[in-house]
Amino acid sequence: MSYERIAVAAKRWHVTLGAPFADVYPGNLVYRCTFADGTHAVIKTEPPRPDEDEFLHGIDAIALYGGSGMVRLLAVDRAARVILMEQVEPGEPLWDVPIAHALEALAATMAKLRRAPPDPDSFPHIRAYRRAWPNHRRLYGGVGPIDADLFELGERMFLELCDTSGAPVVLHGDLHYGNVLRSDRDGWLAIDPRGVSGEPCYEVGALFRNRVEELYGSPDPIEAMRRRVAGVADLTGFDRERVRRWAFAQAVLSEIWSADDPDKPLHIDMRAARLLQEVGPLG
């Protein structure tokens, strides 16, 4: 059924389908495609999920940024859940780029994603993610497989950060190393946004719970994490302690989401959370 939706949309938008992308989120379909003049594009659909609006909010975020710092939207069928986007070329992600250069690219991309929401209710606020903690307690009757000290501190820190946040902007919401691609058009471009609103510093969280194995591979993982926090703060202009706290709270949140999904591995994000806790408060 998902392929049929893509095929119908491709015919309507006059593009020829090519090969599918293999490394995509389970259930999604993403295909290369080509216009009659040879221009490359990408067509994508997602199945309905419990958070039905997340896909649509992501589309709205792509449209809002209009190709600045983010992939350009070419066409959309909201009812069929199909979108047509430019193909980012050469499209190299940041997973294997040396970490210093990867962080520079991510910081430069974040700086372009600072637009205020069109109205207060146009994008969900990150505060809504707080529900993950009570939902998890109901599921497990407690903290379940997550370290109790990190679980409780993550919840408290998440709420404190939301309560002290600055003016919201429309965020990508999941700006990890695989969601920013090298672009001949504009340096680096973000793909696959969630489309949420919150303060700009929230966006740094994914930089710490991903590529964490590199930190553990260093002689002093805690010091390596401290340097990453300081480096991201210097690149973005955000307060170092606020960077650390957002990174910690989101690592715990991400671990909760993994624990509540039987198809996801556990304890990956706890490795980042534990290091961020051991770094301690930064001035």
- Residue ranges covered by each domain of the chain: 2-86, 99-279
Alpha-carbon distance of 126 to 145, in angstroms, equals 24
Tokens of 126: 């990150």
Q: Nearest-5° angle of CA 265, CA 271, CA 275?
A: 165
Name the CATH superfamily, with its identifier, for domain 99-279.
Answer: Aminoglycoside phosphotransferase (APH), C-terminal lobe (3.90.1200.10)
Topology match between the domains 2-86 and 99-279: no
pLDDT at residue 27, as a whole number: 84
Out of 16-30, 42-56, 83-97, 226-240, pick the least confident: 42-56
Place of tokens 């216009």: 35
Cβ-Cβ contacts under 8 Å for 264 (sequence gap 6 or more): 257, 258
- H or E element, residue 173: none
Average pLDDT, the chain: 95
Alpha-carbon distance of 132 to 135, in angstroms, equals 5
Alpha-carbon distance of 41 to 18, in angstroms, equals 10
Alpha-carbon distance of 42 to 44, in angstroms, equals 7
pLDDT at residue 52, as a whole number: 65
The CATH classification of domain 2-86, taken from the options 1.10.150.120, 3.40.50.10490, 3.30.200.20, 3.40.605.10 = 3.30.200.20
List pLDDT tens digits, range 76-131.
Answer: 999 999 999 999 999 999 999 999 999 999 999 999 999 999 998 999 999 999 99
Full-model pTM: 0.95
How many Å separate Cα 139 from the centre of its chain? 25
List pLDDT tens digits, range 252-283.
Answer: 999 999 999 877 777 789 999 999 999 999 97
pLDDT at residue 222, as a whole number: 98
List pLDDT tens digits, range 209-249.
Answer: 999 999 999 999 999 999 999 999 999 999 999 999 999 99
Closest CA to 190 of 199, 177, 205, 200: 177
108, 111, 190, 210, 242 from 90: Cα distances, Å: 18, 22, 13, 23, 34
pLDDT at residue 182, as a whole number: 98
Write phi, then psi, for 125 (nearest 5 degrees): -85, 145
CB hemisphere CA count around 80 (13 angstroms)? 21
pLDDT at residue 1, as a whole number: 61
Which residue type, as a one-letter code, is found at position 264?
A: K
